Amino acid sequence: MGLTDVSPLAAKQRKFVADVGSLIVYAYSQGYELSFGDAYRDGRCWYGHTHSLHKLRLAVDLNLFKNGVYLTDTADHKVLGEFWESLGNQWGGRFGDGNHYSVKHNHMR
């Protein structure tokens, strides 16, 4: 896939990146700090679902911090998850994976 790729997948990837940027800005405006968990898994990765959206560059797992404390519960991500959903995306907190932020693609989450 080159820089001139205009496929539907490439368009989703570019929107995903823009939305992740918006999510990061929103998180920091709410007093959170973030680091990346799984941002990309290549095809040789031994863990994760065979058809993971991470492998398609349409999902990211974010590590969430507030006041220097690492927050691990799905409920901790709720405010960010709802913001993410307001952008038309899907938040993993709806299916038990609170730090997962993705774009729907071919019925995958």
The number of folded domains in the chain is 1
Q: What is the C-alpha to C-alpha distance for residues 109 and 102, in angstroms, rounded to an integer? A: 7
Task: Count CA atoms closer than 13 A to 61's CA, side-chain side.
Answer: 15
Range of the domain at 63: 8-102
| Residue 109 maps to a domain | no
| Residue 107 maps to a domain | no
What CATH number is given to the structural domain containing 33?
A: 3.30.1380.10
* Whether pLDDT at 81 is above 80: yes
CB 109 within 8 A of CB 102: yes
pLDDT at 100 (0 to 100): 94
CA separation, residue 90 to residues 2, 5, 67 (Å): 27, 24, 27
Q: What percent of the chain has pLDDT over 90?
A: 67
